[in-house]
Structure 1
Amino acid sequence: MFKSEELLVNTFVNHLEVENRSLNSWILREVDCWQGRADVVKVNSHETVIYITDNQRKLLKQLTCANIISVLHYGSPRTKEFLYNHLGTKNIDSWLKELLFEDIITEIAHDKFVISSNFKLPHLDLCAYEIKLYDWRRALYQAIQYKGFSNSSYVVMPKRNVGPAIKNIEAFAANNIGLIHVDDEGKCEVVLKSIKSKPRRKSFNIIGTGIALETLNSKLMHRV
């Protein structure tokens, strides 16, 4: 029997670590991407080597920078005025300078910006988990919020307490939220799978990518 959520979290993380021993997969805890604080996030990388500097990674974690990057493209330039209007603020000039300096964006003409051809945002899949002992409604609400930055989202509960959630499984399915239960021996079973999808907010996903890269194993990351 799980006497605390911390014990349940630790048990579930141990399960994930056993199942995901690849260097292309790693686990994060207490992840805040402006959509609440996810208890656990599993990261899967589609790339064996990631070329990104520490300063670039730090900028990805900044909300304003993530918002700027999210609306820029490699080929079609956006004007500074467009960025002002789209982001609802003119307080972005200092961030534009930093993004330019770190070669994340390029100014191809006066006040016209694109994503730098030298910068590639790493392709990561983020799977968020909200872990609760009893309150499935609160867990479901939180897991839905995590869809803002993640590709999939789950609620994790003890097997002995998951009955009410299963009785309301339609609410999980309607929001594409998966459900997992954990028995007293630590065995995990997927009751409902969350189908991988595009995050609802690109900027929040960029922040999540920055946070994920912060804890990336040095064997996977190649800093330049």
Structure 2
Amino acid sequence: MAIRLSDVTDLYESKESTLIDSFESYLMQSSSKKHSALIRELDCWQGRADVVAAYVNEDWSLPQGAEHIISRLGPAQLLSVMFPKKKQKFKDIISLSGLSESTVRRHLKELLEADLIQKFEPDSYTLHPKVILPNVTFHAYEGKLHNWKRALYQAINYLGFAQYSSIVMPERYIKAALENIDHFKINGIGIISVSNQKYKVHLKPRKNRPRKKSFHLVGIGKTLFYVNQSNICNASEETNSRLPGI
């Protein structure tokens, strides 16, 4: 039995996951800028964003396995107050990170063992000279069927780690959000509607500086892990495709 176009639209409007699936496919197919990664349900301590488009520059250098450490909030909080040349005293790291002395000691040991930082006497630290943290731009998308207020609230939270944030809703229910567009403008949140597999940008998001560097670093770590896993899977699939049939 043939599916009518109206049936597809109704499906968007009745199931949030279908809305997000479709929008993710749209991003993969029609983006003018190549994504390094499209990640579902990315959690950077600001709620789980439905879809996050991550753009990673190529000029970075990290020790092997560093993404596992950076993706955890504790180590990320310490890295967020470290610099390549400026030495940070232990007491200042405690004050700036907001962590306890024992927790800072534990994470410093972990970062030293991973060659992410280096130690100077007496008890001061910098980023390791060989470490170049990736420059990553995040655009977080929050999909909602009806509740634009909830979508806006969550989209604002994502600015804790992302430079851009937008909501995605079915066109049939976007009217209420557009009637309150000033709330989105004030907070720099974009508005996108979906209709019959077409997408319309009603308001472009404003670029934001992530509110917390540590949350942004967590996102970087998780993105690098995702990209590495994707590369491993792609390499495995390519190898298997060359194997003779059984």
Is the TM-score greater than 0.5? yes
Q: Which segments of 5 or more consecutive residues in structure 2 lack a partner in the other structure?
A: 1-9, 233-246
Answer whether contact 1:44 1:126 (CA < 8 A) is retained: yes
Answer whether contact 2:143 2:167 (CA < 8 A) is retained: yes
Residue 104 (structure 1) aligned to one of 116, 135, 158: 116
Residue 135 (structure 1) aligned to one of 131, 144, 147: 147
In structure 1, the residue matched to 2:81 is 71
Residue 205 (structure 1) aligned to one of 195, 216, 220: 216
Deviation digits for residues 117-174 of structure 1, max 9, x if unmatched?
Answer: 1111111100001100000000000000000000100011011110000000000000
Pick which of 163-172 and 190-199 moved more.
Answer: 190-199
In structure 2, the residue matched to 1:196 is 207
Structure 2 residue matching 1:215: 3-state secondary structure: helix
Structure 1 residue matching 2:115: 3-state secondary structure: coil
Q: Distance in 2 between matches of 1:191 and 1:23?
A: 22
Residue 231 (structure 2) aligned to one of 205, 218, 221: 218
Answer whether contact 1:24 1:46 (CA < 8 A) is retained: no
- Structure with greater helix percent: 2
Structure 1 residue 82: Cα displacement: 1.0
> For this pair of structures, how many residues does the alignment match?
217
Q: Which has the higher contact order (CA 8 A, sep 6+)?
A: 1
Pick which of 65-74 and 24-33 moved more.
Answer: 24-33
Q: Distance in 2 between matches of 1:218 and 1:106?
A: 30
Residue 71 (structure 2) aligned to one of 37, 61, 73: 61
Q: Distance in 2 between matches of 1:174 and 1:84?
A: 35
**CA radius of gyration, larger in:** 2
Structure 1 residue 101: Cα displacement: 1.2
Pick which of 83-92 and 142-151 moved more.
Answer: 83-92
Q: State the superposition RMSD in angstroms.
A: 1.6
Using the size of structure 2 for normalisation, the TM-score is: 0.84
Q: Which segments of 5 or more consecutive residues in structure 1 lack a partner in the other structure?
A: 220-224
Instruction: Tell me: CA distance 1:23–1:208, structure 2 relative to 1, closer, same or farther (3 Å).
Output: same
Using the size of structure 1 for normalisation, the TM-score is: 0.92
Q: Distance in 1 between matches of 2:63 and 2:40?
A: 23
- Verify: 1:150 aligned to 2:162, yes or no: yes
